[in-house]
Amino acid sequence: MMTNEHNKHLSKYMLRLACVLVAYTGLLIGGNILDQHLVLLQWQRVAIALLPVLPAFAFIFVVLAFVRNMDEVWQKIITESALISAGIIGISTFTLGFMEEVIELPGGILIWIWPAMIGLQGITMPIVKRRYS
């Protein structure tokens, strides 16, 4: 059963997460619009392209604060699913590195590593949770 304290903490987390995602989306879309409609120097284009990374850092701290307020069992579940995800994605990128030596792979794949880790953690979490139920 969820307590009022838990609900309050969850609401605060969701609000912070929403702010981070809005900032990320705004900087990503805004940066693309600026890059398409203005003539910019290379360093300016690089700076604009890197702006969405700032909310990504904030995301880490928002999630970390949320996990720190979880009970120990949920912390174990989160940690194990994160380690499984990191391991699978790590081995996958390691494998792709070897494959690059023998076949041509599409460019732009690096941007999908972090979203893949987050998505895979979400998939593995219910599996890990069964171990503790």
| Residues of the chain predicted below pLDDT 50 | 1
Task: Report the alpha-carbon distance of residue 77 to residue 10 in Å, rounded.
Answer: 17
Q: What is the pLDDT of residues 47-75, one digit of tens each?
A: 999 999 999 999 999 999 999 999 999 99
Q: What is the pLDDT of residue 133?
A: 83
Task: Report the alpha-carbon distance of residue 52 to residue 27 in Å, rounded.
Answer: 5
Q: What is the pLDDT of residue 2?
A: 57
* pTM score over 0.85: no
Q: What is the pLDDT of residue 6?
A: 76
Task: Report the alpha-carbon distance of residue 89 to residue 116 in Å, rounded.
Answer: 7
CA distances, 84 to each of 15, 79, 115 (Å): 28, 9, 15
Q: What is the pLDDT of residue 58?
A: 96
